[in-house]
Amino acid sequence: MFYDSTREAPRLPGTPMSELKPIKSICVYCGSGFGDDPVFAENAAALGRYMAEQGISLVYGGGNVGLMGTVAQATLDNGGYVTGIIPDFLKSREKLLDEVQETIVVPDMHTRKRLMFEKADAFVALPGGIGTLEELVEQMTWAQLGRHTKPILMLSTKSFWKPLLTLFAHMRDQGFIRPGLELNYLVAEKVEDVIPMLQDAARRVGIVENADLIESKF
C-alpha cells in the first residue's frame, strides 16, 4: 500500500518496537546525467550531505557521472561512508570515483542489483532515466510480492515522479494494482524530509534483512 510520514503503516507481526532497527544505509538510485535543472544536482548533493551528517552510509552504482557522482561526492566530502557497486563493463563509461571507501566490481547487472539490495536498509530514487526507473520498480515489485519490507522513497523534485504516480493510480483504477497486491512506497517533495520519512517507516514497519528472501529471483 502507499503510505507517507503521516499515515500508519503495518508493522511486522511479532516484532517488538524495541527490536525495530534504524536505517544505517541507503541505496540511492539516480541518473548518470544531471537533467535540465540545477536543482536536481543540488538535491542530490544535499541528500549526500544529510546522510553523512547522520551517519548513514551510501550504497550506489559506483560511477562518477551525473547525479550518481554528485550524491557520492557530497557524502564523501562530509565524512560519510560510500559503497559503490559497478559492473565491469561500465567501469570506463561511468568512471569510478577513486575516493569511495568500498568499490565492488561485479560481472553483471543482476549481481549489482542484488548486492545493492543486501547492503541497504532503504531505497531512494532521485530523478533519472530508464535505468533508475527499472531499479525503483524492481524493488517495489519485490516488496509487493512480500520479499522485503525495506522502505522505498521517491524524491519528487519539481514533481519529477508525478507521471509515474499517475500511472500507478491508473493501474489501480483498472484493477491491476488491487487489495493484497498494493504498492508500498513513500514520496517526498523536499530533500530534508527524506531521512525522517524513511526512519519513521523503518520504526513502524520493521526491516526484513534476510538476503535469502530474494534467492529465487536469481
Q: Would you state the cell numbers that stand for residue 175, as one nine-digit string? A: 484493477
- Reported in sequence order, the residue ranges of 88-218 that DSSP labels E, i.e. its strands, are 102-106, 122-125, 152-155, 186-188
Percent of the chain beyond pLDDT 70?
85
The angle subtended at Cα 142 by Cα 138 and Cα 148, nearest 5°, is 130
Q: Are residues 115 and 107 in contact, defined by beta-carbon separation less than 8 angstroms? A: no
Q: Would you state the cell numbers that stand for residue 35, as one nine-digit string? A: 537533467
Q: Are residues 153 and 122 in contact, defined by beta-carbon separation less than 8 angstroms? A: yes
Which residues 6+ apart lie within 8 Å of 13 measured at CB? none
Percent of the chain beyond pLDDT 90?
74
DSSP state of 206: -
Average pLDDT over residues 121-148: 96
pTM greater than 0.85 (yes/no):
yes
CA 78, chain centre distance (Å) = 20
Q: Classify each residue of 75-104 as buried b or exposed e, where b means 16 or more C-beta atoms within 10 Å of its C-beta.
A: bbeeebbbbbbbbeebeeebbbbeebeebb
pLDDT in tens, 168-210: 999 999 999 988 788 889 999 999 999 999 999 999 887 765 4
Query: How confident is the prediction for the chain on average, in pLDDT?
Result: 88
pLDDT of residue 20: 59
pLDDT of residue 208: 63
137 closest CA partner among 205, 185, 206: 185
CATH of domain 18-208: 3.40.50.450
